[in-house]
Chain A
């Protein structure tokens, strides 16, 4: 018994050493990516493919927020900064002062669709009305011309990228009311709205179907086309920032243009974003 344990332990240590060694040897070529939690899943998925294509390059993707991504690019701590917003004046100024010239690559569009139960007669809301619902100022559908039914606002968990987008573009950074319910995935938000007549929720465009009713916001229906063109009010571009335009042929260049490939667009759609193509 003991001897067997000893052997297992030894072989385990041996295995660990064997695994660790080549990694530390290949430290020479690295690609550091840092930034937004919204763009993070795309960065992760792209990096996954790049690890297969370029096994000699070690890629690390950190998701610390857009602000941290910008700071890391300015300090030279990363090669690519993922950002869900454009750089602020101050960040740009700091960058230029330090000799870093940020170049933006828009890789996808992010749109958040507001959905209600199919039995709900409401077809269109204004951004302010949605904000009032989530702030608890409007609590019954009859205030919006619907049936006399309490509104059940459903939100994504506060750590998700979808929440972040909604919080910024619809809520204008206002805090949500305490009666807002939270679910931790797009499918769950969809399921809650589908089964609750009084519910209102928001999901990525990949989760729209006939079981929930998509609302027009400020008169515009969210479609791939309106989101890609940026006409839909709750849409925004997702950026990668690099220091100057990356040298064509370099791995940074390949990463920043990966969204143009078929595989890249597939990933973008799978993660619930809208690829930048002509619709």
Chain B
């Protein structure tokens, strides 16, 4: 190494390291960079492969159900999506209709969004445009703590606090119902919605706000007419990500929703208990004998859920791209 340096002694600029490497050094660094590169590639590939493998695995396990193992395929699929009766464990006459279960997932998701989106948006606007720097420094981490609480804790809260409260104060016959699950889910979706919507609102930029004030707009006008329209795609992404949180949540709905496989009648009655796709899988997969139609039917529900969240994810990806595009 010292000899390599001495060759450049007469150069105008002194380099701390040799410019020309020995063959060994060259080989070593080439090999090392190749190794690190391939290692990083393998790590990245693993996570991509995991997603693909999950799809393959779920489809493979769901296939025997749709192929109509022990029954006609067409009839099985029709029953699956149109029947409200879910009695997969019955010995003599099992029934596999998930219409009520899909409806249950929609009920709690949409009701929780109805609570979480307005609240979350208002909070995001407050944090980005109205609150002082100090308030914001305190509030944001506190809100993010909500996202860090384990879902079982939320579930216990739902069963022990919210359920008796609903029964006592609103006179519901049962406290574990669609409303209870929606309230808790909205609390869990809120940190996601607030923090992403706040990011989108902040990203609109100071100069646009100042231009608006400069044209004589009030603060309310600026927020409502300028900032929110400019950030709409980010806000939509926030809503969709919050929605995914609500759709995919399992433990809380399993504890708080009551798990009755029914569509509430009348349809707006959230005081009745419902059952979601995630709760059905979580509640039944643990003990069901492997290889039975019941087992495969749970994977079929998983497939429906996977496709649904996949579509939501694509949609939110699309909106986030839109949010980023015009800024550069």
Contacts and interface: CB of A to CB of B under 8 A. Distances in A.
A181 B283 contact: no
Interface in A173-189: 173, 175, 178-184, 188
Interface SS majority for chain A:
loop
B259 A182 contact: yes
A178 B91 contact: no
A175 B167 contact: no
B167 A182 contact: no
B197 interface: no
A180 B260 CA distance: 5
Interface in B114-167: 159-160, 163-164, 167
A182 B100 contact: no
Interface in A182-215: 182-184, 188, 191-192, 195-199
B287 A188 contact: no
Interface stretch (A10-18, A19-27, A156-164, A236-244): A156-164
B262 A178 contact: yes
A37 interface: yes
A64 B289 contact: yes
Contact of B272 (A157, A179, A198): A179
B174 interface: yes
B245 interface: no
A173 B90 contact: yes
Nearest to A62: B289
B35 interface: yes
A192 B91 contact: no
B174 A196 contact: yes
A268 interface: no
B260 A182 contact: yes
A178 B100 contact: yes
B174 A199 contact: yes
A192 B176 contact: yes
A189 to B, nearest CB: 11
Contacts of A2: 35-36, 39
Given A2-B36, A184-B254, A199-B174, A159 B260 contact: no
Contact of A198 (B39, B88, B174, B260): B174
Contacts of A68: 289
Interface string B266-294: 00000011010000000110111100000
A11 to B, nearest CB: 18
Nearest to B282: A184
Nearest to B88: A158
B92 interface: yes
Interface string A51-78: 0000000000000110010000000000
A198 B261 contact: no
Interface residues of A, number: 29
A152 B254 contact: no
Interface in B79-94: 84-85, 87-93
Interface residues on B, range: 35 or more
A1 to B, nearest CB: 8
A152 B174 contact: yes
A199 B174 CA distance: 8
Contacts of B164: 195
A149 interface: yes
Contact of B89 (A152, A158, A198): A158
A182 B160 contact: no
B287 A159 contact: yes
Interface in B229-275: 254-255, 258-262, 272-273, 275
Given A150-B173, A196-B167, A181 B100 contact: no
Contact of B289 (A65, A175, A181): A65
A277 B289 CA distance: 33
Contacts of B176: 181, 192
A155 to B, nearest CB: 9
Contact of A152 (B39, B173, B284, B289): B173
A197 B167 contact: yes
B159 A188 contact: yes
B175 interface: yes
A148 B91 CA distance: 36
B175 A195 contact: yes
Contacts of B167: 195-197
Contacts of B259: 157, 181-183
Interface in A132-164: 149-150, 152, 157-160
Given A179-B262, A182-B260, A198-B173, 7 more contacts: A149-B173, A152-B174, A159-B287, A175-B87, A192-B159, A195-B159, A195-B167
Interface of A: 2, 37, 64-65, 68, 149-150, 152, 157-160, 173, 175, 178-184, 188, 191-192, 195-199
Among all A-B residue pairs, the 8 with the closest Cβ atoms: A159-B287, A182-B259, A178-B262, A181-B258, A150-B173, A158-B89, A152-B174, A195-B164
5 contacts: A175-B85, A178-B85, A184-B254, A195-B163, A199-B174
